[in-house]
Structure 1
Amino acid sequence: MIQPLAYIHPQAKIADSVVIDPFAVIHKDVEIGEGTWIGSNVTIMDGARIGKNCRIFPGAVISGIPQDLKFEGEETTAEIGDNTTIRECVTVNRGTKDRYKTVIGKNCLIQAYSHIAHDCFVGDHCIFSNSTTLAGHVTVGDYVVLAGLVAIHQFVKVGSHAFVTGGSLVRKDVPPYIKAAREPLSYTGINSVGMRRRGYTSEQINEIQDIYRILFVKNNNVTKALDIIEAEFNPTEERDEIINFIRNSNRGVLKGFGQS
């Protein structure tokens, strides 16, 4: 199912059931899993590792060399998980010697004109809307939704199940389970709609909301808020995830709207 007008390097590892449309270009050090479709005018460069049943739409460039002046030609990869869709003109750069790879997880949708820079790690089931831009070394958890025109600063972390509204500039870490909006980007509530869609119970959602009220609404500093949360809430997976995310934040987390 490889069209004669496509170019595939003879040493590329392409599964038998892959469909490659005309004018696609596949470089040498590339691996593509079964059932994947590669559209016209897609360029897949050295270091690409593409899973099964992916769809890559026209104009996308996968595993281009990093736009990083420190890059010295080291062998790195750009990895895309099974069942992920990459829409038109998306660019995904491969890693540098920092992490040696860029990773997009399984079952993701990366919409048109988005850019994922070197050494980014993106979890499973993420949706990035049109023209989302991730600078280098960004880490994104599972089930994250980034609306259109979101731009994320290098080294920022976005926690699982977070939602970031369109046009946002993300300069600080975004904790899990929250909605982030306004300028400067601020906590505006929890992502209750997303959590309900994914099977979280009302009790779990209410507890997460209570935790974030202590962090962002009741004017506690971060250290005091975490102490209160540990004292007043029994250990749960969600509680511990929030606490560990905030304690391990290198850039600091965003604040509640109106907090100084």
Structure 2
Amino acid sequence: MVKIHSTAVIDPKAQLDSSVEVGPYTIIGPHVSIGAGTVVGPHVVIEGHTTIGRDNKLFQFSSIGAAPQDKKWAGEPTRLTIGDRNTIREFCTFNTGTVQDRGVTSLGDDNWISAYVHLAHDCQVGSNTIFSNNAQIAGHVEIGDWVIMSGFANVHQFCKIGAHAFVGMSTSLTQDVPPYVLLNGNPAQAHGVNIEGLKRRGFTREQINGVRAAYKIIYRSGLTLEEAKAALLAEELAMPAAAEQIRAMREFLDTASRGIVR
């Protein structure tokens, strides 16, 4: 049987796998689906059109799937989706999407989300990320795989952060961040490549050297972004062992709608 504490309030229309555990005083609404092995702690509220995958751990006092904090929202049935094996610590707030965007806020797999993290409407977060305490993410933000958000970092709406980037403590982001870049400050400034993170994830020396070469083209060469893209393409051809990584940085420049932190 579903392991539901006697004080929890679960709407009969909610869909919970038989292995789901629900703690005391938790409230789960009618449009919620929760997959096998997920544990929901005490005093959690899960509402809205929210889908949660397998083997997640939600700690106490989080608000999951509440209405978006957007005055334009008019009650549309927008969604929140959470993948598998995520840890979501205390007092997190994740909102559903809006029809002005794709209508869904999403969190991938294997993410570690610390206490007091806010994930606003229409955010798209990849997998294997780490969000330290009080990271605050405004609406419509895209965050790639393996990104690390340090404590008290905050991100302006519509920004994009590329995969494997590292955002330092109390950093304030108002522009996009290319993949692999390490940055810090308020306003944010780039401070090199997230080399330690790439080493830990098994990147080869050749791949890391390629990322460093691409970083120098973007940040140290004095080239315009259009000139940098052409130089990156040449570097991509010259360094086949790191072509995938250089291409990711070059293609990111084409999608950076707010300009990049530079």
TM-score (norm 1): 0.96
Identify the residue that residue 250 of structure 1 maps to in structure 2: 257
Q: What's the CA shift for 1:153?
A: 0.2
Structure 1 stretch displaced more, 184-193 or 134-143: 184-193
4+ runs of 1 displaced by more than 3 Å?
A: none
- Partners of 1:51 and 1:232 lie apart in 2 by 41
- Counterpart of 1:102 in structure 2: which amino acid? T
Q: What's the CA shift for 1:76?
A: 1.2
Aligned length: 255
- CA displacement, residues 124-151 of structure 1 (integer Å, 9 cap, x when unaligned): 0011000011100000000000000011
Identify the residue that residue 50 of structure 2 maps to in structure 1: 48
Match of 2:145 among 136, 139, 142: 142
Structure 1 stretch displaced more, 97-106 or 177-186: 177-186
Q: What's the CA shift for 1:183?
A: 3.0
Identify the residue that residue 62 of structure 2 maps to in structure 1: 60
Q: What's the CA shift for 1:59?
A: 0.4
Do the aligned partners of 2:10 and 2:28 also contact (CA within 8 Å) in 1? yes
Identify the residue that residue 40 of structure 2 maps to in structure 1: 38
Is 1:237 equivalent to 2:239 in the alignment? Answer: no
- Counterpart of 1:173 in structure 2: which amino acid? D
Q: Secondary structure, in 3 states, of the residue corresponding to 2:51?
A: strand
Q: What's the CA shift for 1:182?
A: 2.5
Aligned pairs (5 A) from 1:10-159: 10-97=12-99, 98-159=101-162
Q: Secondary structure, in 3 states, of the residue corresponding to 2:64?
A: strand
- Partners of 1:186 and 1:104 lie apart in 2 by 26
- Counterpart of 2:164 in structure 1: which amino acid? H
Match of 1:165 among 124, 149, 168: 168
Identify the residue that residue 10 of structure 2 maps to in structure 1: 8
- Partners of 1:231 and 1:160 lie apart in 2 by 22
The CA RMSD measured in Å over matched residues stands at 0.9
- Partners of 1:107 and 1:18 lie apart in 2 by 18
- CA displacement, residues 168-219 of structure 1 (integer Å, 9 cap, x when unaligned): 0000000001101123211101011111111100100011101111110122
- Counterpart of 2:89 in structure 1: which amino acid? R
Gaps of 5+ in 1: 256-260
Do the aligned partners of 2:172 and 2:185 also contact (CA within 8 Å) in 1? no
Identify the residue that residue 217 of structure 2 maps to in structure 1: 214
TM-score (norm 2): 0.96
Q: What's the CA shift for 1:247?
A: 1.4
Do the aligned partners of 2:198 and 2:208 also contact (CA within 8 Å) in 1? yes
Q: Secondary structure, in 3 states, of the residue corresponding to 2:218?
A: helix
Identify the residue that residue 228 of structure 2 maps to in structure 1: 225
